[in-house]
Structure 1
Amino acid sequence: MPHIDIDYADTLSGVLDLPALVAELHPLVVERVDSVGVGKTFCRSSEAFVDGRPDAPFVHVTVGLLPGRGPAVKAELSDDVLALLGKHLSGVEGATYSAEVRDLDPSYRLHPTH
């Protein structure tokens, strides 16, 4: 039941094939963390990214998981996500991309439960 957030520069609209990225990313995450839940993937464009370069192309992926996976599993998943982003951004000059895998806060609730 991972929650995946994809934040990306709006300058990548029409360049980054989000449906193709999600089609590979979502099952990759579910498989790597041995999830039994459905999970959700959210994509959000951003007008601003400050790194000293105007209109810098970036993508950041955050994966939120229920607690229980160790640091090694999270690090390997981050590496897998970075590799996938590299594939999807290979034609984008100067692209910056990052990934974070974290535990969802204990206050997380889902309704209705599945």
Structure 2
Amino acid sequence: MPQITVDHSAQLTDAFDRRGFALALNPLVVEVAAAKIENCKIVFRPADETVVGDAADGHAVVHVTIGLLAGRTEETKARLTEGALDLVRQFLKAPTGLALHVSAETRDLDDSYRKYEEE
């Protein structure tokens, strides 16, 4: 924990500094949500196809999902979500003529969440 997933339209791959975003988001999660930096894990998933409304093209999507163990206040989750959106603005330079749809959410992980690590 935290488990962070960033889904994005594939056409943003070259325009999105994913490593820079991750290296900025992890300390934010530590600061806002009292997580440990070594537990922050981010997976980026480019989507080959995204559709917005009835548009054939010209749109791109980014959605950040931050999963935390239960116990954070709604204010804490909102601060983290807003911070993630601000970082997307900093690390994504959308190509001209592309309508960008960016969203984020911070949610509690289900009580069934378990993990193991191997080194």
Unaligned stretches of 5+ residues in structure 2:
none
Partner of 2:69: 66
CA distance in 1, matches of 2:117, 2:94: 41
Matched, 1:76 2:82: no
How many pairs are equivalent?
A: 113
CA distance in 1, matches of 2:58, 2:109: 31
Matched, 1:85 2:91: no
**Equivalences for 1:28-67 in 2 at 5 Å?**
28-36=28-36, 38-51=39-52, 52-53=54-55, 54-67=57-70
| SS of equivalent to 1:95 | strand
Q: What is the CA distance between 1:90 and its match in structure 2?
A: 4.6
Partner of 2:18: 18
- Percentage identity across aligned positions? 35
CA distance in 2, matches of 1:15, 1:39: 23
Q: Are the equivalent residues in 1 in contact too, given 2:16–2:93 (CA < 8 A)?
A: no
Equivalent residue letter for 2:47: S
| SS of equivalent to 1:106 | coil
CA distance in 2, matches of 1:88, 1:76: 18
State the Cα RMSD in Å.
1.8
Moved over 3 A (4+): 90-93
Unaligned stretches of 5+ residues in structure 1:
none
Matched, 1:108 2:113: yes
Q: What is the CA distance between 1:41 and its match in structure 2?
A: 0.7
CA distance in 2, matches of 1:25, 1:56: 25
